[in-house]
Amino acid sequence: VALCGQMGVDYKVKSYKGTGSLRMHKVSSRMAKLIGEKIRDGQDVRFTIISKLADPDSYGAERVVLKNAGFDDLTLDEAARAGAALVERGGFHYAVTPNPEFLLEARTNAAFRQTLLDADLVLADGIGVIYSAKILGRPLKGKVTGIDFAQRLLRWMAAQGKRLFLLGAKPGVAELAAAHLKDAYPGLIVCGTHDGYFTQDAPVVEDIRACAADVCFVCLGAPKQELWMAKNGPETGCSLMVGLGGALDVFAGVVERAPEAYQKLGLEWLHR
Ligand code: UDP
């Protein structure tokens, strides 16, 4: 899709041609940097945009850029709709849920930093991120934890008959999580599971592909899961991968989620 870009918003740009058929008001220098080319302000450019963020028909979130990562400014409802839109759209997409520990890691780990920046959906998982955004003068609508996002997406997937693959955690945990999720979301198809302690990527990629999964929850802990999704995701045939850390342990009941009172206060980390 060739689309007209919007100023001040981050896009993932695949290619561009210097034709005059699509006019942008001004080409931001940030966008020029993204595609690694020098473009004059005001020059007519045709972009091929592969990020959903740029698609006015899907969701028009602004990506708020903090020091080492950008966050999509979405409420939980909007994030869930965005996730569903990514599943429906062709091609591979991945979502990340950075918390302050991610940002610390991203300071020194350039590959991880880039993987976060390249994500199709970036959710602010933690009150620390919300506070940082506020302090930096770019407040976000609110925290969207990975678990809350996953639950909303699962509800939608169950209603739509979409296929879920669970990857990660110790042997047996993903199977237990699958059983609990199928009870909690009648109609949900869990098409496959795999533990997170494997040495070769290829058999796991093949497994996901063979199951014809639409969505895969990748729970290997950060930064491993983000790097894994970005590297292997496109080969799996999945439409959406979501990096969810310890979510399978929570779904399996191996680890309890913090009580709601802690969650509301943004103190889930304190409970742990
Ligand atoms: N994990 C995994 N493979 C690994 C390392 C971790 O599957 O090589 C799993 C681990 O069993 C746990 C999940 O990743 O279920 C999250 O780990 P951790 O609590 O360290 O990450 P966080 O939730 O803090 O991102």
Distance of CA 215 to the CA centre of its chain: 11
- 99 CA: nearest ligand 1 atom: 25
Q: What is the pLDDT of residues 98-109, one digit of tens each?
A: 988 898 898 899
Q: What is the pLDDT of residues 205-254, one digit of tens each?
A: 999 999 999 999 999 999 999 999 999 999 999 999 999 999 999 999 98
What is the band of 195 on the pLDDT scale with cuts at 50, 70, 90?
A: very high
Which has the closest alpha carbon to 144: 52, 12, 244?
244
- Take atom 5 of ligand 1 and give the residue whose Cα is closest: 220
* CA atoms within 13 A of residue 27's CA, in its CB half-sphere: 23
- The helix (H) or strand (E) run that includes residue 114 is helix 110-118
Cα-to-centroid distance, 245 and ligand 1 (Å): 6
Q: What is the pLDDT of residues 49-81, one digit of tens each?
A: 333 333 333 445 667 776 667 888 899 999 999
Bridge pairing between strands 70-72 and 63-65: antiparallel
